[in-house]
Amino acid sequence: KVLCSCLNRCLFLCVTHHSVLSAMACAEWSPGSVPTVEAAVVVQLPAELGEGTLWDARNQQLLWVDMMRSRLYRFDPNSGVNEEHDLSAYSKFVSSVVPLCEADDPTGDFVALTLGEGFAVYNFRERSLRILPGNPSLGKNEMFNDGKVSPTGSYWAGTIARDATGEPISKGGLYRRNLDGSVDKVVEEVAVSNGLSWDPDCHTFYHTDTPNGTVDAWDYDAVTGAITNRRPCIEHFDFQTTGVPDGHAQDIEGMLWVARWNGGRVGRYDPKTGALLAEVTFPETAGKQITSVAFGGADLGDMYISTAH
C-alpha cells in the first residue's frame, strides 16, 4: 500500500493502493507525454501554507508545519489522527521540522525545528519549546524556510529575504547547524531557499533558490560538510506555465520529485539529464501552490505532498 498525499488550504491528499512508481508504470500516457497519477484527499484542515513534510520513521508518523500560522503537526496514518501544536507564542513562523536521533532522544518526544528566527527544539509531550543558542543574526525582512538533516546529522536550513515591498531579494543564505552547536553560513546571496537533499552515495547535494527557476547540484564532502562546484541540473521552469521549483524529495533511484509552486504538480526528474519522467497531478480544488514532498510509511513507499493557499 502506498500513499501520495497533499495538503491544500483545507485538504490533505493521497494516492492509494499502489507504490508511486508502480502507479506511474500503470498510468495511461501517450507518446510525447509523461505518465501521471492523481492525488486524492486524506485529511481536511484549514492550513494556510503547508510546508516541511518529513517522515518520522521511529514513531511512524508524518511531521509537517503550517508555516504562516506557526503550527506544528504529527499525522498518524494508522489512526488518521493529525495532532496540532500551536507555536505562535514562540514565533510568528515555523518552517521546518526534523526528528532527533535515538541517542539524543530515547523517548521519541522531541523534534528540532526552524522558527522564523532560527533553530529550536520542541517537546511534544510537555508542549514546550527551547530556542537553541548560536542562531545567526538575520536581516530585517529575512526568515528561515525549508530545512533538512544531512547524512552526517547536521541540520541545514535556508532563509527567505525580502525588500520593503515584500519582493524576494538575494540577501538570504543557506545555513548549517553542526553537531557541536555552531552555525555556518554555507551559501550567500539566496532569495528563497528551498528543496534540500543529498544523493544516495552522499557525493552530491541538491538545493533550490526558487526565484532562479532551477534546481542546482553541488559536489558534497561528507567528511567536512563542504559543498563546491555549483551547477544547474534541472532547468527550464517558468512561473506562468510549469511553475517554479519549491521543495523536493529524492527516491531510491536518485530521481528528484520536485514540488512546482504555481504549477499544480509534482514532477519526477532525472538530475543527471534534467529530463521530466513522470508527474503527480491534483484536483482543481487543490490549487497550484505545491510546496513540499516527503516519502513515508513503513517501507517509505508513501509520498506526502503539502500545498499553500
Identify the residue with better confidence: 17 or 187.
Answer: 187
Give the mean pLDDT of 245-251: 97
Does the pLDDT of residue 46 top 80, yes or no? no
**282: nearest Cα among 295, 299, 296, 267:** 267
Annotated binding site for substrate: 145, 163
Strands 172-177, 155-161: pairing kind: antiparallel
Does the pLDDT of residue 27 top 90, yes or no? no
DSSP secondary structure string for all residues of 263-300: TTEEEEE-TTT--EEEEEE--GGG-SBEEEEEEESTTS
Give the mean pLDDT of 121-129: 97
Residue in 146, 209, 246, 302 annotated catalytic? 246
Residue ranges and CATH numbers for the domains of the chain are: 4-307 (2.120.10.30)
Quick one: pLDDT at residue 47?
80
Q: Are 18 and 2 in contact (CB under 8 A)?
A: yes
Give the mean pLDDT of 31-38: 81
**202: nearest Cα among 160, 248, 246, 149:** 149
pLDDT band at 33 (very low <50, low <70, confident <90, very high): confident
Q: Could you tell me which residues are beta bridge partners of residue 249? A: 257
Q: Could you tell me which residues are beta bridge partners of residue 261? A: 244, 289
Identify the residue with better confidence: 45 or 16.
Answer: 45
Give the Cα separation of 23 and 299 in Å (integer): 16
Give the mean pLDDT of 165-189: 96
Torsion 203-227-176-181 (CA) sign: positive
Catalytic residue status for 246 = yes
Annotated binding site: 51, 145, 163, 194, 246
| Edge-to-edge strands, sheet with 50-56 | 50-56, 61-66, 71-75, 82-86
Does the pLDDT of residue 13 top 50, yes or no? no
**pLDDT > 90: what percent of the chain?**
78
Residue 32, all three cell numbers: 510525447
DSSP summary character for residue 150: -
Annotated binding site for a divalent metal cation: 51, 194, 246
Give the mean pLDDT of 193-198: 97
CB atoms within 10 A of CB 121: 16
Amino acid (1-letter code) at residue 53: T
Does the pLDDT of residue 285 top 90, yes or no? no
Q: What is the mean pLDDT of the chain?
A: 90
Least confident of 8-17, 60-69, 144-153: 8-17
DSSP secondary structure string for all residues of 7-68: EETTEEE---SS-HHHHHHHS---TTS--EEE--EEE----SBEEEEEEETTTTEEEEEEGG
Residue 2, all three cell numbers: 502506498
**85: nearest Cα among 107, 70, 67, 105:** 70
Residue 225 zone, left/alpha/beta (φ > 0; ψ -120 to 50; rest):
left
Does the pLDDT of residue 66 top 50, yes or no? yes
Helix ranges, 99-249 (H): none
Quick one: pLDDT at residue 1?
25
Does the pLDDT of residue 93 top 70, yes or no? yes
Quick one: pLDDT at residue 287?
86
Q: Residue 195: in which H helix or E strand, if any?
A: strand 193-198
Identify the residue with better confidence: 27 or 272.
Answer: 272
Does the pLDDT of residue 67 top 60, yes or no? yes
Quick one: pLDDT at residue 44?
73
Give the mean pLDDT of 76-103: 95
Give the mean pLDDT of 250-278: 96
